[in-house]
Amino acid sequence: MRDDHHNIEPSQTPVQTLGPAKIANPIFKSSAQAKLGRQRFVDESVRMRVDPYLRPQDPTCTEEPSFERAGPREKIYFDPTKLKAAIVTCGGMCPGINSLVRAIVLQLHYIYGVRNVVGVRYGLQGFIPAYGHDLMDLNPTTVQNVHGRGGSFLGMSRGGQSIEEIVDSLERQNIGLLFMIGGDGTLRAAQSITEEITARGVKTGVVAIPKTIDNDISFVQVTFGFQTAVEAATRAILGAHNEATGAPGGVGLLKLMGRYSGFVAAHATLALTEVNFCLIPEVDWDLEGPQGLLSRLEERLQARGHAVIVVAEGAGQKLFEGLDLGQDASGNLKLGDIGTYLKERIGAYFHERAQEINLKYIDPSYLIRSVPATPNDRVYTGFLGHHAVHAGLAGKTGLLVSLWNDHFVHVPIKLAVSHRSYVDPEGGLWRAVREATGQPDLINEV
């Protein structure tokens, strides 16, 4: 993994606060928590290095970039008995959303005593009166069984909404703390909302929890749902392999998620080493020519009689250069459909050579996105939800909760969206993929 964390400055890591925290944390009042003593609370001075390999005596670094450590503070900013909190889920589906919402609600209700919690329906649309989406009351009863379901019971949507209208809605409904669950686009919206709130002098906190199957959020060790996605993708690879070995000249072609980063494709390939070609956005490859994919696939079929190809959705986009594909609802440039493109080109290539192949194309993306989370991801979302609540009640704002170098930390949203995490073509992960697949370079010599 690479996300250029060596290039940040210490001035980029402080987290914004709404004001001085003066209220005693109520979790200390319960007998069970009191027995743990005050060591349960995290001191504001405790910080974790951004780069764990940077030595303190490094003469090139006078002040190390570091993140606040997440966890409960001895003093909090909000009075829980008077606080109204809201939760919104945005973007596309991802395993673990429901268990994360449940964790936030239960933590607010049982640990801090917050009784006024609402769910915003269908993403940021839920803030805009014109859409007519009602808020949903969230309490232990309404969330008691949601963690076993896939998808998002609050509903989701894509597309930009007016930041001014969103903040108007927060003010109008007296929401003091907003939890935003989403990917890169949602994080950028969260940053804009934070800036608008700050400009107005409103005392509303914004805490984000990064959500993306692609695992490409910077300064996040792993996003929730990623492990579940890899497990589901592995089952799809097995299906592609069974199809390929069950017919003469069998080719299993599988398209997986990965718009800009090929983590799902790479990890799934390593989890089930039946893949012969793994194509990701970070590594260039040619389709035609003596060393291109088609020629290499022909060699593979002649040698072994079958092949499995895994391609991330963002791979091979140079093949669509010059085409105006437009933008999606979130303003992202639409990608060319590399899966169906490869299906057609592979079929045409072998038809021209009068060579029989049996190609089976599988695109399980939407099935993978909507499956229930695995136990590991449920545990992970529990920790993320707890730390998000601790941060929000303490008056932290404009941050996301992250697992970084095996510690939960607070990362300023502005910093997180300034980079992107991606597979390093020269790193250990891609080297392991190359060794597992045995695939050669797919670039023709110039």
How many other C-beta atoms are found inside a 10 Å radius of the C-beta of residue 166? Answer: 22
Q: Single out the catalytic residue among 214, 216, 286, 377.
A: 214
CB-CB contact of 305 with 249 (8 Å): yes
CB-CB contact of 323 with 267 (8 Å): no
Q: Catalytic annotation on 214?
A: yes
Coil, helix or strand for 242?
helix
Cβ neighbours of residue 367 closer than 8 Å, sequence gap 6 or more: 232
Tell whether the torsion through CA atoms of 216, 217, 219 and 224 is positive or negative.
negative
CB-CB contact of 433 with 263 (8 Å): no
Residue among 236, 212, 259 at smallest CA distance from 364: 236
Q: Which helix (H) or strand (E) holds 413?
A: helix 413-416
Tokens found for residue 445: 């010599």
Tell me 11's DSSP state.
G
Cβ neighbours of residue 32 closer than 8 Å, sequence gap 6 or more: none
How many other C-beta atoms are found inside a 10 Å radius of the C-beta of residue 145? Answer: 11
Query: Judging by beta carbons within 10 Å of its beta carbon (0-12, 13-18, 19+), is residue 157 exposed, middle or buried?
Result: buried
Tell me 436's DSSP state.
H
Coil, helix or strand for 367?
helix
CB-CB contact of 74 with 41 (8 Å): yes
Strands (E) in 125-283, as ranges, are 136-137, 177-182, 205-210, 250-256, 277-279
Q: Mark residue 386 as left, alpha or beta (left: phi above 0; alpha: psi -120 to 50; beta: remaining).
A: alpha
CB-CB contact of 110 with 140 (8 Å): yes
Q: Edge-to-edge strands of the sheet including 358-362?
A: 277-279, 306-312, 250-256, 358-362
* Cα dihedral 65→178→370→253 (10° resolution): -40
* Active centre residues (catalytic): 214
